[in-house]
Structure 1
């Protein structure tokens, strides 16, 4: 039996898949739009970090790339750095 998500949030964005993918994964673009750099090699199983762009290099959010099918699909987990080892509790975000 597959567990159903406890919460689903949907956002519609007018863009091309390529531009949206770049906006989610390009460290320089995420630094400008979010104040954090999304840092990862983007491969399934790889770690990613949401690192403060203001200089200290602190990661406020960490996770793993679960799926990566450029440009159409990107699935990651999200967690506080102190919860990194508890992957069974990490929410998944699909773009």
Structure 2
């Protein structure tokens, strides 16, 4: 590794340690809010049981999302964002099955 790259890496790690300790502010911070499952479901016009079936989760899980006791993560959050953006794509794919 070139000395310049190594020095930049060391500097970056020192900055990260300062940020983690609270000695320095982060230069950027990203906040990703979880999708609103209830609003998305209502946008589709589906009942809780129909939407839970579409998402392949239990009704209880969907209710927890809708009441903000839990937040969808990973693939479920990604699918909710797809349904929010293009509900016809997901609904049409389900009708074809």
Query: Does the TM-score normalized on the shorter chain lie above 0.5?
Result: no
User: TM-score, structure 2 length as denominator?
Assistant: 0.24
Higher RCO (CA-CA < 8 Å; seq separation 6+): 2
Q: Which has the higher strand share?
A: 1
User: TM-score, structure 1 length as denominator?
Assistant: 0.24
Q: Which has the higher helix share?
A: 2
Bigger Cα Rg: 2
